[in-house]
Every structure is written in C-alpha cells, then in structure tokens.
Structure 1
C-alpha cells in the first residue's frame, strides 16, 4: 500500500510540538512496516535525515504553507493533486489538517481545540481558518486520533463526532530523558545558573501556556525563597500576543533565565538538572513536558485544568493556573519539604512507564491498518 503523510513540520532548524510528534510517530511507522511505501509531503526543501528508510519517497509541494491562504492552497490543491498523482491509498496528517476535496481516505490527529475555547489567544486570521476548517476536517476524516481522553470528549462535544470515530493514543517522550547523576546536575547548574537550583518551564511562550502568571507566582515565591531560580525554555508563538509576559524588577530578572529554543540534547540536560517542573497552562491537549519531567524523575507542579491531571496522575502538586498565590504556595511547599520532593520524584519515575512513542505509533498503525484492510 502507498501511504501519504503530511510531514511539513519536520524542520531540522526548528523542531517543536507538531514536528517532534511527527518525527517520533512517523519514523516508527516507516521502520516497522517496510512492506508498505510511504510518500512524505514537505512544503519546503527537506533535510535528508528525515527520509527514514528506503521505503520513503520525499516530495516537496508548493507553496510553503504557513499562512491560512497558503494552507488552503497546499491542502486543497497541491495535496489533492499529489494524492492522485502518487496513487495514495491513505493520507495521514499528524497536525490534523486534511484535504477536503480529495476522495482518498484520511486520518487526522486533532491534538486539542484550544482555539474554540480561548479565541482571544490567537490572531484573527489563523483563528478564522481554524474555526472554519477544523469542524470540516473532523467530519471529513475516516478516523481521528487524539492525545488524551480529555481531547476526545472535547471533540465529541464541540463537533458532534461519534466516540467510535476517535481513538486516543497518549504521547510519549524521547527515551533520552533519564535521571541525571548528582555530579551531572551540579555541572549543568554551574554552567547555566551559577550553581543554583531552578524550577523549569518548557513550551512555547503562548498565552495559554500561562507563562505570565507563572512569572508572577515566581515573583511571590522569590520574596520568601532566595535560593531557587526559574528557567523558561521556549520561543514566542504568536509574537503579537507575547505581551502576557509581565514586567519584573531588576532583582527578579537576575533570577529568571529565558533560554529560547534549545536542542533536544540540551533540553534533556536542562530538564534533568531542574529542581522541579512548573507547568501551569490553562488549556492543554496533552503536555509532553510532563512526561519528559517524569522520565527524569523530577517533581511536578501542574495546572489542574483540561488534560493535565489525566497525564500527571499522582506525580504532581496541582494548582489553579489562574491563582498566582496558589502557585507560589505550591513552590514554597515543595522547596521546604524534602520528603515531598523525594516522594514526587519517585512517583514521576513510576508513572513515566505509562507513556511510550512505541505505543503511540502502534495505536496509530492499528487505525491505519483497519482502514486499509477495509
């Protein structure tokens, strides 16, 4: 069979959410099923490292699709034409965007519907596109994959989709995330924070990630605890909305490090050397940094909304993400209670075994195989 895959987020210079999801799942699909041919559709020149095996044919389709008008062009014309040209039996889209005009069976991954619940977080043009097309994608798909039970129920309620049409496959995290030895932790902290422990946040600086309130909460924590800093790992998304980052004093600035986008190798080290993950989005479809923290065996302070309790289980202290006093109190509590810190570290490691990209890829393949066989 010939399986077409939307691989437009495999970008060697900037791998983030959709890109890493595509990489981890698609690489396994290709390697585990050499009996099938996979056609990768890129929207710009690709890195050869993403051609994972001999059963992959890479194809670049014009135009580069990073604007709503170009989304329509790429999926409704370029993809439609390519699916016919390459005689594709099924089209799989890890970011959920589908070709409405193509008769080819399609499987889309809808990660979350944040734009339906918090339209204020997204610029007007992308918002109009998402709200117009994603209900159509959900109905068009032969089957939908999603990343949490929370997202599944949200899709059912928001778009009137039957539960039988949606399969949940939790995300995994890279197997390179592992607990670090004490000397490694000390070395990384010496290099990055002058030897000081730190809370870490990982994710795009997007309003729903709630980084502004996290910084406000850390400011309150810093008045009580002079010993632990805060590290923010991630780049701004929707830059015109990044004003949610508050102004802080010069003294507090010295205790907050913005690392920007970092490589996976660097992130492994930064996460593993952290005192704890502080992750309080007010809307999330899954939250891969939770699993990365678990694999490193570090405690978690998590928001208590949407899917986050489903993912973190007993490995986290939960807080109202809109209440900065509650967040700061959780930081103070964790910093002052060594027993609780050790307990959550152990629970993180124990829960981490529930999440695997192998499982995600296997579940994805089962959905694809069922459709191909029918």
Structure 2
C-alpha cells in the first residue's frame, strides 16, 4: 500500500501539537509496517530526523501553505497532482484540512472545533476558511479521526457525522517526560528561576490559552502569600499576543515571571519535571497534552474544567474555572499550602498516565488508515 501523509507541521525548532502527534504516531506506523511505502508531504525543506525509516519518502510540495490562499493551492491544486504521481492508495491529513479535488481516499484528523466555540481568538481570514470548508472536509473524508470523546461528540453535534465514520485516536505523554532527581531539579531551577520554586505553563502564547487570567491569578497569589514562587511560561509567541505583552510590561511581579521562548522537547521535559506544579488555564482543548506530561513527571497539574480536559485528567487534576482569576489563584494557593492534596494528585497522576499510550494510538491510527483505504 502507498500511504501519503501531510507532514507540513513537522518543523524543526517549532514542533508543537499537530507536529508532536505526527511525530509520535507515524514514526511508529512506518517502522511497524516496512512492507508499505509512506510518502511524507512537506511544504518546505525538511529535517532528515523526521525520515524515521527507509520506507519513508519525503516530498516537498510548494507553495508554503500557512495562509488560506496558499492552503487552497496546496490542498486542492498541487496535492492531487502528487497523489496521482505516486499512485497513492490513501492520504492522511492530521491538521484538519483535506483535498476537495482528489478521488484518493482520505483519513482526516480533526483535533477540535475551537474555531466554532472561540471564533474571536483567530484571524478573520482563517475563521472564514474554517467556516466555509470544515463540513466539506468532513464530508469528503472516508474516515475522520479525533482525539477525545469530547471532540467526537462535539463533531457529531455540530455536523451530524456518523459514529461509524468517526474514530478516536488520542494523545499520550512523550517518553522523555519523567521524574528527575533533586540534583537535576535544582540545576534546572538555578538556570531558570535562580533556584526558586515555580509554577509552569507550557504551550504557545495566544488568547485561547488564557494567559491574561493566569497573570492576574499569579498577581493575587503573590499578594496574598508573599512567597518567592516564580511563574515560568515556556512557549513561543503565536498570535494576538499584544494584550499579553502589554500587561506583562506593566505587571507588578514582572521580575517573577520567566518567559523561556520555544524549548526543544528534551529541555522542556527537564523543566516540566522540575516544576512545583503546572498551571494550564486554557479555555478550550480537544485533549491537552502538557498537563499529562506533567503527571508523567510526578508533577501535579491545575487545569481548566472545560472541554476535554476533565475527560483526560479524571481525578488527577485540580480543576479551575478558567474565566475566574480568583479561582485560579485560590487553586494555586491550595496547591502551595496543602501538601496532602499535592501528594494525592501526584499519586493519582501516576495511575492516570497509564491510560494513554502512543503505541496503542499508532495501532488505532493504522486501523483507521486501512478503513479509509478500503471503505467504499
């Protein structure tokens, strides 16, 4: 079988959500199925580290597709040419977009419908593209994959998709995320916070992640407890960051907030394992991997009580109302003061992460690919 995969988000030095998902799942699938040929479709020069096996063939398709006009050209004009050229049996697209102009069966991954629930958090051009095309993509695909039961139900409710067509292939924590020794932890803290304990947020910086309310909550925490606790924000500036940047420039506790920028996964794992707790106040997530990575490191997580996050975390997260800086601050103070609670969450987290496994996810995805290739 010839399997083409949209790997545009495998970007060295910029690997994030979709990219991690592709990296974990399709590296395993290609290695586990050497009898099949895999074509990785990039839209720019690629890094050889993403060519995981000899049965993977990288192809660069122009133009670079990062905006709606280029998306239309890449998916609907250029992609069908290359799918025909390689005689693809199936095309897998993990970023929610597929081609409307090919007869090749497609397996589409839609992580969430954030654009429907929080449309003001993305640009108008991107929003129009999603609004116009998402249903068309869902109808065109032979099989649709999503990452949680929450997202599955959301897609069904919003677009009436059949359960037979819609499958769940969830995320998991990367193996690099493990507990570290006190010695390693102290070195990490010296590097980032001059030795102080810290709350950690990891992920890109944009409005849906709710970092404005996190800053407000951290201010309340500092005023009430007067501790030397720091807040570390590990991630790149994405879009619509003006309000965050402006607030931070006048923030009373600016010297207690550390922005690391984008970190490679090995460094991010060390930072996560050295945190006192993760705070993940996102308004909306189809899954939310960073808090699960914290649990795998033996670090408790304070997480929003919305969308798929309670489904993923169960009894292992301390939940917050993301709309309320006061509630976020109260839960940060509770985590800081109640060692019994913190220990219980860490213990629950060790059990919770066992439910999520990349090897199982890769096998489920493989079954979906086969279904897409054979469904009439």
- Is residue 34–residue 55 contact of structure 1 (8 Å, CA) maintained in 2? yes
Runs of 4+ in 1 over 6 A off after TM superposition: none
- Is residue 291–residue 355 contact of structure 1 (8 Å, CA) maintained in 2? no
- Is residue 106–residue 373 contact of structure 2 (8 Å, CA) maintained in 1? no
- Is residue 91–residue 105 contact of structure 2 (8 Å, CA) maintained in 1? yes
Other-structure match for 1:17: 17
Residue 86 (structure 1) shift: 0.8
Residue 283 (structure 1) shift: 0.7
Q: How far apart in 2 are the matches of 1:99 and 1:57?
A: 20
Q: Structure 1 residue 169 and structure 2 residue 136: aligned?
A: no
- Is residue 42–residue 60 contact of structure 2 (8 Å, CA) maintained in 1? yes
Residue 371 (structure 1) shift: 3.3
Trace 1:16-55 onto structure 2 (pairs within 5 A): 16-55=16-55
Distance 1:219 1:334, change over 3 A: same
Q: Structure 1 residue 332 and structure 2 residue 333: aligned?
A: yes
Other-structure match for 1:351: 352
Residue 372 (structure 1) shift: 3.1
- Is residue 207–residue 242 contact of structure 1 (8 Å, CA) maintained in 2? no
Residue 13 (structure 1) shift: 2.6
- Is residue 248–residue 254 contact of structure 2 (8 Å, CA) maintained in 1? no
- Is residue 121–residue 241 contact of structure 1 (8 Å, CA) maintained in 2? no
Distance 1:135 1:244, change over 3 A: farther
SS of the counterpart of 1:57? strand
Q: How far apart in 2 are the matches of 1:49 and 1:186?
A: 31
SS of the counterpart of 1:254? helix
Residue 247 (structure 1) shift: 4.1
In structure 2, stretches of 5+ residues that fail to align are none
Residue 228 (structure 1) shift: 1.4
- Is residue 64–residue 70 contact of structure 1 (8 Å, CA) maintained in 2? yes
- Is residue 205–residue 242 contact of structure 1 (8 Å, CA) maintained in 2? no
CA RMSD of the aligned region, Å?
A: 1.3
In structure 1, stretches of 5+ residues that fail to align are none
Q: How far apart in 2 are the matches of 1:269 and 1:210?
A: 24
TM-score, length-scaled by structure 2:
0.97
> How many residues end up aligned between the 2 structures?
373
Residue 242 (structure 1) shift: 3.9
Q: How far apart in 1 are the matches of 2:121 and 2:244?
A: 10
Q: How far apart in 2 are the matches of 1:373 and 1:108?
A: 15
Residue 241 (structure 1) shift: 4.6
Residue 157 (structure 1) shift: 1.0
Q: Structure 1 residue 119 and structure 2 residue 119: aligned?
A: yes
Q: How far apart in 1 are the matches of 2:229 and 2:342?
A: 14
1:21-65 Cα distance to aligned partner (Å, 9 max, x none)? 111111011001101011111111111121111111111111110
Q: How far apart in 1 are the matches of 2:195 and 2:114?
A: 38
Other-structure match for 2:100: 100
Q: Structure 1 residue 235 and structure 2 residue 208: aligned?
A: no
Which segment is superposed worse, 105-114 or 164-173? 164-173
SS of the counterpart of 1:127? helix
TM-score, length-scaled by structure 1:
0.97
Other-structure match for 1:282: 283
